[in-house]
Amino acid sequence: PHVNLHLWNPVYCALANAGVVWVTGASSGIGEELAYQLAKLGALLAISARREDELQRVKKKCLRNSLTESDILVLRLDLTDRSTHEAATNSVLKHFGKIDVLVNNGGRSQRSLFVDTNLDVYNAIIELNYLGTISLTKYVLNHMIQRKKGKIVTVSSVMGIMGAPLATGYCASKHALQGFFNSLRTELTDYPEISVIQICPGPVQSQIIQNSLENSGDQSHKMPTDRCARLTLVSVANDVKEAWISDHPYLAVCYLWQYAPTWAWWLMNRMGKKRIQNFKSGIVSVQGAPLSLSPLVCLSPCLFHSAAVGMLG
């Protein structure tokens, strides 16, 4: 069913009691915007990413609300360094005493043809997007099981429910997350107060494009990042198990892929052929260089996500 956005205010108010929220990938994109909106709600925040200077910038902006210095913990975190995840979790618990919501938002994307891509690229994507995410989840979940309550929120992608050219590794990692968390949810039936929520955005407007990937161009067809974050929080407040956050026509393609896969494959083949032609022509570039020279780009998963109004629960 579609979430009634007229219920936005009371739903949003419900999140004001979210308590302690740990957001990874909080230095840019969706993660950064989630931090700002959660700060306005008065949630206590732990924000993580690899770039501590960017996290300090985000914290400074969050403090323009009613929060104090001690209400926001800046915690540098490398999801690929799994040996640090237990200590990082303990740092959040030491500072706040609990973790009510974990938002798995850190990730890496890819644009390259499989035949031209070294397998090390796929290893790096899986290490960060999948293994890094479930590793951190494991330590936080142990705490939530002890408390018998909490929310595990993972920012996946519409690419986790469909396939697309030039993103085989990225799609694979997001499909892995979908399978993992759908399975984990079934293992937690004895803990009804622990929610497992998957957010699947499509294309979202982001300044990160100007700095990392693609010519910035016209982003008017993409959903604004603040709307994506807003709909994400609506989904979290409603305990929506899986939310497709995207505007049409991207949202329509999600439904097509789900309910009419033969038509979806035909459409994707037609769209994919043009996309690959553009890619080979160098239309898509990284800081002016063809993406074929740089298949692996580290960034927040919001880049290829699109925020949407259609949600499934």
CA atoms within 13 A on the CB side of 71: 18
Q: Could you confirm whether 170 is annotated as catalytic?
A: yes
The residue annotated as part of the active site, out of 36, 122, 139, 170, is: 170
* b/e code 5-17 from CB counts within 10 Å (16+ = b): eeeeeebbebbee
Burial label, 284 (beta-carbon count in 10 A; 0-12, 13-18, 19+): middle
Q: Which residue has the tokens 């929506």?
A: 240
Q: Angle 271-247-213 (CA atoms, 0-180°, nearest 5)?
A: 60
What distance in Å separates the CA atoms of residue 78 and residue 30, rounded to the nearest whole number?
Answer: 18
Which pair of structure tokens corresponds to residue 2?
A: 């579609």
**38: its two tokens:** 């959660």
Residue 268 · residue 122 · CB < 8 Å: no
List active site positions: 170
